[in-house]
Amino acid sequence: MGVFLRNFVEVLVTVLFFLVLGRALISWVDPTYRTAAGRWLLRLTEPILAPVRRRLPGSGALDLSAFVVLLVLGAILRVVSF
């Protein structure tokens, strides 16, 4: 893999990782996403989290889709970094 492509993928995955992490953290403080930052994170991360949420079995009020996405992004980052 070329250096440019590897660096691009690393930056992209890292940005996605922090966006999903930010959404998970802000959901504890503002679960209705009334703030501008909350709505922005919702718009950016929902296309990533919604398909994962549909595939996960129902777990009541606990949404594990962000956790699953963070695990996958972390694994991709480790593979690309080597």
Question: Hey, what long-range contacts does 7-10 have (CB within 8 A, 24 or more apart)?
Answer: 9/76, 9/80, 10/77, 10/80, 10/81
Q: What is the pLDDT of residue 1?
A: 65
- Whether the pTM exceeds 0.85: the reply is yes
Per-residue model confidence as pLDDT tens digits over 4-20: 999 999 999 999 999 99
Per-residue model confidence as pLDDT tens digits over 20-50: 999 999 999 988 999 999 999 999 999 999 9
What is the average pLDDT value for the chain, to the nearest integer? 92
